[in-house]
Structure 1
Amino acid sequence: MIGLGQVEAMIKEKLPDAQVMVKDLKGGDHLEAIVVSATFEGQSLVKQHQLVYSAVKEAMDTQIIHALALKTYTPQDWEAAQ
């Protein structure tokens, strides 16, 4: 099992400006991450998700994280969603 803080740190290592909120959906290996980053500006949703998945690739490859649901936002999109 991986700590939510560890997942957050892995994402922030790849996207230092990001606001990251991680929650456990089921049993510690099914997670959801909400990531807000200016890096996402001008990127497709697929590219945004690829950036986040690349940050947690090792944990997913070893199935420490079995599933990761993502919601990604630019800062402007996040503000509008609130």
Structure 2
Amino acid sequence: MGLEQVEAMIKRQLPDAQVVVRDMKGGGDHLEAIVVSAEFEGKTRVKQHQLVYSAIQESLDSGVIHALALKTYTPQGWEAAQQAV
């Protein structure tokens, strides 16, 4: 599965999201995603991650994606994280 496909699946679940997906080990099944969405406002980190995982659940269940390291941010949280760098 291509990184663009994973990005598209997440954006179907969270249409406003900014999504960056990277291949962590070069095999295409260990991925990292950074997702920024206003949908995360007022939600715990666990709820934020559940929203993203629900978008790719089928690929996780089938083993196409073995692992996904996930970082989620609200737009304000993302801005603050960028300023801290």
Query: Normalised by the size of structure 2, how large is the TM-score?
Result: 0.95
Identify the residue that residue 9 of structure 1 maps to in structure 2. 8
* 1:8-35 CA-partner distances (Å, limit 9, x unpaired): 0000000000000000001110000000
RMSD: 0.3
The structural deviation recorded for 1:40 is 0.1
The structural deviation recorded for 1:73 is 0.0
Query: Normalised by the size of structure 1, how large is the TM-score?
Result: 0.98
Identify the residue that residue 20 of structure 1 maps to in structure 2. 19
| Aligned mates of 2:10, 2:28 — CA distance in 1 | 17
The structural deviation recorded for 1:45 is 0.2
Query: Secondary structure at the residue paired with 2:23?
Result: strand
Identity over aligned pairs, percent: 77
Task: Give the ranges of 4+ consecutive aligned residues of structure 1 lying more than 6 Å apart after TM superposition.
Answer: none
Give the number of equivalent residue pairs: 81
The structural deviation recorded for 1:57 is 0.3
Q: Which runs of 5+ in 1 are unaligned?
A: none
1:25-44 mapped onto 2 (5 Å cutoff): 25-26=24-25, 27-44=27-44
Q: Which runs of 5+ in 2 are unaligned?
A: none
| Structure with the higher helix share, 1 or 2 | 2
